[in-house]
Amino acid sequence: MSETEALEESAPRHKRLTEAVAARDLESSRRIINEASADDQRRIISQLDLAVREQLCELLPPEEIAGLLEHLAEPQAIEILEELPAEIAADVVENMSAEIGGDLLRELNPKDTEAILAEIENAAESDDLRERASYHWESAGGLMSHHVLSFPLDATVADVLADLETNAEKYHDADVQYFFVVDDDQRLTGVLSMRSLVLGRRSLPIKSLMIPDPISVTVHTTLEELEDLFEEKNYLGLPAVDEEGKLKGIVSRRAVTEALSEHQTEDYLKASGIVGGEELRSMPLKDRCLRRLAWLGPNILLNLLAASVIASYEDTLAAVIALAVFLPMVSDMSGCSGNQAVAVSIRELTLGIIQPRDYTRVLIKEGLLGLTNGLVLGLILGTIAFFWKGSFFLALVIGSALALNTVLSVVLGGLIPLVLKRFKADPALASGPILTTCTDMCGFFLVLNLATIVIQQL
pLDDT of residue 300: 81
Q: Which residues of 235-248 are buried (b: 16+ CB within 10 A; e: fewer)?
A: eebbbbbbeeeebb
Mean predicted lDDT score pLDDT of the chain: 87
Q: Give the whole-angstrom CA distance, residue 133 versus residue 128.
A: 9
For 384-400, the pLDDT digits (tens) are 999 998 999 999 999 99
Is the CB of residue 38 less than 8 Å from the CB of residue 46? no
Q: How many helices (H) and strands (E) does the chain have?
A: 22, 7
Contact 150, 182 (CB under 8 A): yes
Domains delineated in the chain = 3-135 (1.25.60.10), 150-271 (3.10.580.10), 285-457 (1.10.357.20)
Q: Closest Cα partner for 448 from 303, 320, 305, 301?
A: 320
Alpha-carbon span 315 to 416, nearest angstrom: 34
Q: What is the pTM of this model?
A: 0.65
Cα gap 438→191, rounded to integer Å? 56
Residues with Cβ within 8 Å of 434's Cβ and at least 6 positions away in sequence, in order, are 302, 416
Burial of residue 347, with CB atoms counted within 10 A of its CB: 0-12 exposed, 13-18 middle, 19 or more buried? middle
> Who wins on pLDDT, 306 or 108?
108
Residue 352 has pLDDT above 90, yes or no: no
Task: For residue range 139-183, list pLDDT tens digits in order.
Answer: 999 999 888 889 999 999 999 999 888 888 777 766 667 889 999
Each residue of 224-280: pLDDT tens digit? 899 989 988 888 889 999 999 999 999 989 989 988 887 777 766 666 666 666 677
Contact 435, 300 (CB under 8 A): no
Across 421-441, b (16+ Cβ under 10 Å) vs e yields beeeeebbbbbbbbbbbbbbb
The C-alpha angle 214, 234, 155, rounded to 5 degrees, equals 30
Sign of the dihedral defined by the CA atoms of residues 96, 97, 100, 101, in that order: positive
pLDDT tens, residue by residue, 91-106: 999 999 888 899 899 9
Distance CA 235, CA 139 (A): 17
DSSP secondary structure code for residue 200 in this structure: S
| Distance (Å, whole) CA 293 – CA 273 | 9
Mean pLDDT, residues 409-418 taken together: 95
191 has pLDDT over 60? yes
Q: How many CB atoms lie within 10 A of CB 202?
A: 11
Query: Whats the size of the chain, residue-wise?
Result: 458
Range scoring the smallest mean pLDDT among 38-42, 58-62, 362-366:
38-42
What pLDDT, on a 0 to 100 scale, did the predictor assign at position 375?
96
